Structure 1
């Protein structure tokens, strides 16, 4: 499928080392966008940038830790020096670390809050002026946040993860009141079960087994499925904002 209006746009994708972020970066580059790859794993980013380049696309690998403001600021400086203004931001970075709240895993709580909420905010803060400027100049400007169906459907022992995603969903809704009047679109996407690295981060064997059972019984989306939705939403005419999108495996629905 062709998304012609993505040609020559400048996109920044967080979490680009794997999963939805990687798939999105590949697709946007294939559609003619210049893509900034933002994640912690430098080697993975360089490999992806090389693959995109070999396929005729344009990509810049920018290693950064979204949990640190200085790291995000340094990344923004590098992006602006190399590519100038960004007009499409995809917040795809995230971690999912389920455990009972009674387990008191404050390390996991902090990591999810720092990445899923504060990390997204740091990126938005760094690149919001770009989006506003792009829209003011008559261009298309998009902020896409990858939340989760867990934002409003409770799963046992996923309380903190779900809370971080609910925060991101609400943040997206609220930001539309700020950015919409400036012609910047904000799209919030809530995927259901999706094949990514997130399931490998779980250190609770019982919960890991339960999740594997759900994947086996229900099936899952591929990261490419979500990337396709992102490309579709951001390639609509600039006056059309697909504001809230829920995408699930058919059997999960």
Structure 2
């Protein structure tokens, strides 16, 4: 489906090397946006950028780690040098490492917090000035945060992951109070079961089997289907903010 109000925009998509991020980048580029692809895996980014260019789009591969301050700042500088200021930011990078809390896996907790929460904040810090400036010029400006239905639906052994996503959902809600009066839209998207690489992050065999069983029983969304929701939200008239979207497979309660 084609959407208006995306052509000619300049977007940043984090976690663009695979899954929802990759699908969002492809969708936005197909709609005529210039897309800066941010992720750690340089080879995957280069391949995606080449694919977008081969299909007539504009893309910039930017190797970046959202858990590293200097890396995010360098990515911002590279995007500005190549594409100028951005008016659409999709905060999608994330990790999911479920395990019982009483196992006390501090390393996993730190990784999820630093990627899913502080990483989101680093990107916001880097690009909010661009969004505010774009809105002040009368252009559409969007911050889209990809959270999870796990932000408010509990799953056994996903407590810390769910807590990081609850933080993103709350952050999005609060930011609307700060940025909305300046005409910057903030959209929080909470996907349910979705076919992405997050499934491969589940190392525990029992938890992995439970997740596989859910996909077999319910059926997951494709990354492209979630990307379509992102594009739809960002394509609305600039005075319309789809503030909170929960997107689930029909069979997921």
**TM-score category (smaller protein):** over 0.9
Q: 2:98 corresponds to which residue?
A: 98
Give the whole-Å Cα distance in 2 for the aligned partners of 1:31 and 1:251: 30
Give the whole-Å Cα distance in 1 for the aligned partners of 2:203 and 2:136: 47
Q: 2:30 corresponds to which residue?
A: 30
Deviation at 1:4, TM superposition (A): 2.1
> Is 2:156 the counterpart of 1:151?
no
Secondary structure of the equivalent of 1:37?
strand
Once the two structures are superposed, residues 196-247 of structure 1 have per-residue CA deviations (whole angstroms, 9 ceiling, x without a partner) of 0000011111100000000000100000011000000000000000000000
TM-score by length of 1: 0.99
Give the whole-Å Cα distance in 1 for the aligned partners of 2:76 and 2:234: 22
Q: 1:142 corresponds to which residue?
A: 142
Where structure 2 has 5 or more consecutive residues not aligned to the other structure, the ranges are none
Give the whole-Å Cα distance in 2 for the aligned partners of 1:202 and 1:195: 13
Q: 2:160 corresponds to which residue?
A: 160
Where structure 1 has 5 or more consecutive residues not aligned to the other structure, the ranges are none
- The ranges of structure 1 where at least 4 consecutive aligned residues each deviate by more than 2 angstroms after the TM superposition are none
> Is 2:248 the counterpart of 1:252?
no
Map 1:20-99 onto structure 2 (within 5 A): 20-99=20-99
Give the whole-Å Cα distance in 2 for the aligned partners of 1:123 and 1:193: 25
Q: 1:212 corresponds to which residue?
A: 212
Give the whole-Å Cα distance in 1 for the aligned partners of 2:131 and 2:48: 25
> Is 2:124 the counterpart of 1:116?
no
TM-score by length of 2: 0.99
Give the whole-Å Cα distance in 1 for the aligned partners of 2:132 and 2:187: 15
Give the whole-Å Cα distance in 2 for the aligned partners of 1:99 and 1:149: 18
Secondary structure of the equivalent of 1:194?
coil
Deviation at 1:146, TM superposition (A): 0.3
Once the two structures are superposed, residues 154-205 of structure 1 have per-residue CA deviations (whole angstroms, 9 ceiling, x without a partner) of 1000000000000000000000000000000000000000000000011111
Once the two structures are superposed, residues 33-91 of structure 1 have per-residue CA deviations (whole angstroms, 9 ceiling, x without a partner) of 00000000000000000000000000000000100100000110101001110000000
Q: 2:8 corresponds to which residue?
A: 8
Give the whole-Å Cα distance in 2 for the aligned partners of 1:17 and 1:223: 12
Once the two structures are superposed, residues 82-111 of structure 1 have per-residue CA deviations (whole angstroms, 9 ceiling, x without a partner) of 111000000010000000001111111000
Equivalent residue pairs, number: 253
Q: 2:196 corresponds to which residue?
A: 196
Deviation at 1:2, TM superposition (A): 1.1
Q: 1:170 corresponds to which residue?
A: 170
Deviation at 1:131, TM superposition (A): 0.1
